[in-house]
Structure 1
Amino acid sequence: MTREARLFVVSGPSGVGKGTLVARVRARLSCLGLTVSATTRPPRVGEIDGSSYYFMDDAAFERRVQAGEFLEWAWVHGHRYGTLKREADRLIAQGRSVILEIDVQGGLSVRRAHPDAVLVFIEPPSMAELERRLRGRGTEDEASVSRRLADARKEMELARSYDVRIVNDDLERAATELAHVIETYETNGGPSKDVCDQA
């Protein structure tokens, strides 16, 4: 079966479980590429530079912005996050679809630059459940939780701009749905390298 390498964007509010979902789907679809984002926020415990994120200070990030090295970037919760073009280009050149786990601002920026990108929005079952998950992480202070919930309400309003919306009320079901979306868009495209079939 031929597959077309596609650019997929997965967005949703902080705490909705995007990272866990993407990890589950990547375990099922072994050839799916995941770019490493750059950020100006400091590393959390256990995060590794070049693996979790490319951690850089504001000056280094700005130099790359001015050099046009980002596919997209945005301010999120007081820090800058972005996807380096080289990360996506490297994977697509190998015939591998790319999945970007980025915020809604970044997702809409990718859509403007790449109209054929597939945008998937991950929704919480409810705002109350999202708040419970955020507080349960134990990584945010009260001001940060309040800011993230306020941002979540704005992001939910932009969900209609996305191609697909998935409610993460059950992790296994949501992962199955996301994997199905990716496989459907890949196989309904055109011919490309069959790297997934060879893996």
Structure 2
Amino acid sequence: MASPDLKPSDTLQRRGLMLILSSPSGAGKTTISRMLLEADDEICLSVSVTTRPKRPGEVDGKDYIFVDQAEFDRMVEDDHFLEWAPVFGYCYGTPKAQVKAGLREGQDFLFDIDWQGTQQLYQKLEIDVVRVFLLPPSIDELRRRLTGRGTDSADVIARRMERARAEISHWDGYDYVVVNDDIGHCFDKVREILHAERMKRARQTGLIGFVRELMRD
């Protein structure tokens, strides 16, 4: 008979995954990321190392790990990162050790990174990576959202729009593409993707032992 100590089939031991959310600035990845972290206890935000100055309210080690450029360069030289990239004059990188250890323990990680970082992660840990790209419903709507923030100058918005077009051109490098025309519907679709990916056979590391016990019954 099957061992009474085995967990139910929907909570079998599994390997964690790396859920990447990418989008042009203003297309909703930050909002969707926050909603996902609030709604799902099994996923946590991957904390990046950055050379960007700390903003008011940010906590070192929680929001980002803040370092100077010399320290960041040393970490690159020591192969400390899974991926890293310069963005708007500052550098951002994903620490390797903590992510790999978490994946082995079944921890899911959420990444809010661009297509360059996505490509680097996929090349190194392909089987663990789930790539989701969020598209705005239109370029005009994207510009309206960026302008509506009231935090950027016209010059900065123009640069963000130029970068947005470049990022959108890489949409076909993702596993899933979701149009964010409604934040609630977009969130629901991203959660569906996450749930389905968790159930993939390759990630259910506890299945072999569970099935062997079933066959002994």
Instruction: State the TM-score, normalized to the length of structure 1.
Output: 0.90
Instruction: Show CA shifts across 1:76-115 (max 9, x none).
Output: 1221111111231232132112221111110111111122
Greater gyration radius: 2
Letter in 2 for 1:42: P
1:168 to 174, 180, 184: 180
Contact 1:29 1:179 in 2 (8 A): no
C-alpha contact 2:29 2:112 (8 A) present in aligned 1: yes
CA distance in 2 between partners of 1:42 and 1:144 (Å): 18
Taking the TM superposition and a 5 Å limit, the aligned residue runs for 1:59-70 are 59-70=70-81
TM-aligned CA deviation for residue 60 of structure 1:
1.2
Q: How does 1:27-42 map to 2 (within 5 A)?
A: 27-42=38-53
- For the Cα contact (< 8 Å) 1:121–1:159, is it kept in 2? yes
1:153-164 pair list within 5 angstroms: 153-164=165-176
Q: 1:56 and 2:64 equivalent? A: no
Alignment of 1:112 onto 2:123: yes
Query: 2:7: which partner in 1?
Result: none
Distance (Å, rounded) in 2 between the aligned partners of 1:72 and 1:113: 9
Correspondence for 2:5: none
Q: CA deviation at 1:178?
A: 0.5
| Coordinate RMSD, CA, aligned | 1.8
Does the Cα contact within 8 Å between 1:4 and 1:193 map onto a contact in 2? no
Which structure has more RCO (C-alpha within 8 Å, separation ≥ 6)? 1
**Deviation of 1:146 (Å):** 1.4
Q: C-alpha deviations, 1:1-58, integer Å up to 9, x for none?
A: 1344212211111121211101212222211122111211222332222111112221
What residue ranges of structure 2 are gaps of 5+ in the alignment? 1-9, 208-217
1:12 to 23, 48, 51: 23
Residue 191 in 1 paired to residue 204 in 2? yes
- Give the number of equivalent residue pairs: 194
- Within the alignment, does 1:44 sit opposite 2:55 as a pair? yes
Residue pair 1:13, 1:156 contacting (<8 A) in 2 also: yes
Contact 1:38–1:84 (8 Å) recurs in 2: yes
Letter in 2 for 1:141: S
Counterparts of 2:183 and 2:84, CA distance in 1: 28
Identity among equivalent pairs (%): 36
Q: Deviation of residue 193 (structure 1)?
A: 6.6
Cα pair 1:11 1:18 within 8 Å, conserved: yes
| Alignment partner of 1:73 is 2:80 | no
Q: Say which SS state the counterpart of residue 140 (structure 1) adopts.
A: coil
Structure 2 residue aligned with 1:132: 144
For structure 1, the residue ranges without an aligned partner over 5 or more in a row are: 195-199
Q: In structure 2, how many angstroms separate the alpha carbons of the residues matched to 1:45 and 1:128? A: 31
Distance in 1 (alpha carbons) for counterparts of 2:157 and 2:41: 34
Runs ≥4 in structure 1, deviation > 3 angstroms?
none
The 8 Å contact of residues 5 and 192 in structure 1, kept in 2 or not, is answered as: no
TM-score normalised by the chain length of structure 2: 0.83
Distance in 2 of aligned mates of 1:138 and 1:193: 50
Aligned-pair CA distance for 1:124: 1.1
Of 81, 88, 99, the residue aligned with 2:99 is 88
